[in-house]
Chains A and B, each alone.
Chain A
Amino acid sequence: MSKFDLTVEIGGVKFRNPIMTASGTFGYGEEFNEYIDLSKLGGIVTKSVTLNPRPGHKPPRTCETAGGMLNAIGLANVGVDRFITEKIPFLQTLDTNVVVNVAGFSIEEYVTVIDKLNDCDGIAMLEINISCPNVGADGLEFSGSPESAHKLTSELQKISRFPLIIKLSPNVTDIASIAKACEDAGADALSMINTLVGMGVNHNTFEPLLTNVTGGLSGPAIKPVALACVHKVYRSVKIPIIGIGGIMDHFDVAQFIIAGAAAVQFGTANFINPSCTVDAVDGLKNYLRDIDIQCIKELTGKLKV
């Protein structure tokens, strides 16, 4: 038994430690099984699953930027039916919390996907990617206004058998008001941030670097934005926050927790170093020893302002 307590609780679910992987950067866990011991992680979050299979955007889908990357994968995934038959069996064998990330283009789509997942074992929580356009209504992203975020969250909360994490987008005027709307609608937790809209241009060919023209910026370059979002939201809601954005090591983890997060997710960092998450679990213990704190929960929101 380690004398440091890294456990956290989110939406009634116990996590071994506050370290998880971010959606879209960890596949369905299978690939990483070869590199790391998944049971050392607090949890893993799967690639967004949608009602229908999605091939994704045409390449090039990614490019490197200063301290980060742009991606326009286009929510490529096998669709919920194949997810259940092909991916869930492996996920069920894992000794870690499995968080299934769900995306949709109308409230009905989210509802149908969650209905199907409700019948599955081996899922600890759902994370709802609300950075998708509501093509059924105004075509604007669910994450774009407190009203649309509230409506989606309350509809999903009604039918989901699992606790819900709502994943927020930073591409909004006031992330705190959206966060508050989700909390009021019954969200169990919030995660943030999804990627920032960005683009790249080739000055020789005049072409965009991504076929989709714009993409999502992630990696160390977005960490300051993510920290500010976490802190702002921490001051406006009571439910737990999962910090995401440019986290590379245990010091970054600590910074997010101090800013107000209960737990964190590693995204782009997995591409650079497949063992970043397990290294950070070890690093975090040493960090707690150095600052003489026993329990990671004590650190949340300890920012001195």
Chain B
Amino acid sequence: MIQHPSVPIIKNEKLSKDLFKIVFRSKDLASGLRPGNFVHIRVSPEMDPLFRRAMSIYSCENDTFSVLFRAIGKGTGLLSKMREGDTVDILGPLGNSFDPPDKDETVILVAGGTGVPPLHFLAQWLLSNYGFDGQQILFLCGISSADDLPLSEAVEHLDIRMRTSSDDGSVGFKGYVSELLKTEALPYDIKKLRLYTCGPVPMLREVTKICAEQGIRCQVSLEGHMPCGIGTCLGCVVQSTRGEDEFDRICMEGPVFDSNEVLI
């Protein structure tokens, strides 16, 4: 059964004025989730908001897993108000996962804003399950300003290499994370490089463009409107590069795609 009708919240942490981290307890989910997967959370038993909210995974440990999100609308607002002991109905694990890199490759993770969580989970997984050395992983974290510092702090505890950029220059490199990528990727042998990215669409466009130009293998994790999350409504599609009339469901064929498979 991948519907978990009553998953308890064991911690809800306010990281900034609108960023929250919620830890859930579920052995089934925690043992089944892989980097890239998402869960579909019913935030209220009421009719409004109606849809579940799709959330990528920030971290998984033994019998718990956590999500990190921005409370921007009614649904995420409700979720942000939940307390320890509250339970929610969750569908998962849903979607596909990132293809693992080869052992001798360098991995660059490019996250923008709340694109951080799935890449954090991937980094954790590479370290603990694939025996990657922290030096092989470079995390480029783009935030808009110091207000979003908790996003980069959420990665800093990992023993990997990391650079942060901010749009206003208040933290780290001043500019877009895609600019940072251009300089940071330079020293590497392209053939031994793997890139994974998640974040706002304009950023994904820039990052995948750079990868295409340089010939870097890249996977993107996409977000979209997800009414069902389980492949039936056909409402979450992204246009495929197979042709004008070809679409893939983000919730089923994705959310992770090779960057040359989809038109973002």
Which A residues are within 8 Å of any B CB, using their own CB? 24-27, 31-32, 34-35, 55-56, 58-64, 66-69, 71, 73, 76, 219-220, 248, 268, 270-275
Contact = CB atoms under 8 A, between A and B. Distances in A.
B94 to A, nearest CB: 11
B62 to A, nearest CB: 25
B175 interface: no
Interface residues of B, number: 30
A60 to B, nearest CB: 6
A93 B173 CA distance: 59
A32 B230 CA distance: 8
Interface stretch (B110-118, B136-144, B184-192, B236-244): B236-244
A63 B89 CA distance: 21
Given A59-B247, A274-B91, A68 B2 contact: no
Contacts of B234: 56, 61, 73, 76
Query: Most chain-A CB neighbours within 10 Å: which of B50, B236, B238?
Result: B50
Contacts, number: 90
A220 B50 contact: yes
A16 to B, nearest CB: 22
Contact of A64 (B2, B50, B231, B246): B50
Nearest to A221: B47
A188 to B, nearest CB: 27
6 contacts: A27-B231, A55-B247, A59-B239, A271-B51, A271-B232, A272-B52
Contacts of A73: 233-235
Contacts of A62: 225, 227, 233, 235-236
Contacts of A31: 230-232
Contact of A270 (B47, B48, B225, B232): B232
Contacts of B239: 58-59
Contact of A25 (B50, B51, B232, B237): B232
Interface in B213-239: 224-225, 227-239
A21 B233 CA distance: 13
A220 B52 CA distance: 15
A274 B3 contact: yes
B51 A64 contact: yes
Contacts of B245: 55
Contact of A24 (B2, B224, B233): B233
Closest 10 CB pairs of A and B: A62-B235, A55-B245, A27-B232, A271-B228, A220-B47, A271-B227, A67-B47, A67-B48, A31-B231, A31-B232
Query: Most chain-A CB neighbours within 10 Å: which of B1, B49, B227?
Result: B227
Contacts of A273: 42, 89
Contacts of A69: 50-51, 227
Given A59-B224, A271-B227, A68 B50 contact: yes
Query: Most chain-A CB neighbours within 10 Å: which of B89, B230, B232, B246?
Result: B232
Nearest to A68: B50
Interface in B179-216: none
B93 to A, nearest CB: 12
Interface in B27-71: 42, 47-52
Contacts of A248: 47
A122 B152 CA distance: 56
Contacts of B91: 274
Contacts of B48: 66-67
B202 to A, nearest CB: 13
A35 B2 CA distance: 7
